[in-house]
Amino acid sequence: MVHPSLPYARAARHRAARALTTLGSAHPRALRLLAIAAGAAARAWDHGHRVADTHPAPFHWRRRKEPLPTLYELYMAADRAHRAHHAVCGRCTADHPDCPAGRQLHDEFVQRQDAYLAAQKKRRP
Ligand SMILES: [Zn+2]
- One digit per residue, the tens of pLDDT, for the chain of length 125 reads 778 888 888 888 888 888 888 888 888 888 888 888 888 888 888 888 887 788 777 666 667 676 778 999 999 999 999 988 988 998 998 889 999 989 999 999 999 999 999 999 988 76
Residues 42 and 76 in one domain: no
Residues 75 and 40 in one domain: no
* 41-44 LR contacts (CB < 8 Å, sep 24+): 41/9, 41/12, 41/13, 41/101, 42/99, 42/100, 42/101, 43/5, 43/8, 43/9, 44/3, 44/5, 44/6, 44/8, 44/9
User: What is the pTM (predicted TM-score) of this model?
Assistant: 0.50
Distance 51 CA to ligand 1 centre (A): 12
Distance 86 CA to ligand 1 centre (A): 6
Domain end, chosen from 17, 40, 64, is at 64
CB of 95 closer than 8 Å to CB of 109 = no
Distance 69 CA to ligand 1 centre (A): 26
Residues 73 and 59 in one domain: no
Full residue range of the structural domain in which residue 77 is found: 67-125
Residues 95 and 58 in one domain: no
> How close are the terminal C-alpha atoms of the chain, in Å?
48
Q: How many domains does the chain have?
A: 2
CB of 52 closer than 8 Å to CB of 6 = no
Residues 85 and 72 in one domain: yes
Residues 91 and 57 in one domain: no
Distance 98 CA to ligand 1 centre (A): 5
Distance 80 CA to ligand 1 centre (A): 14
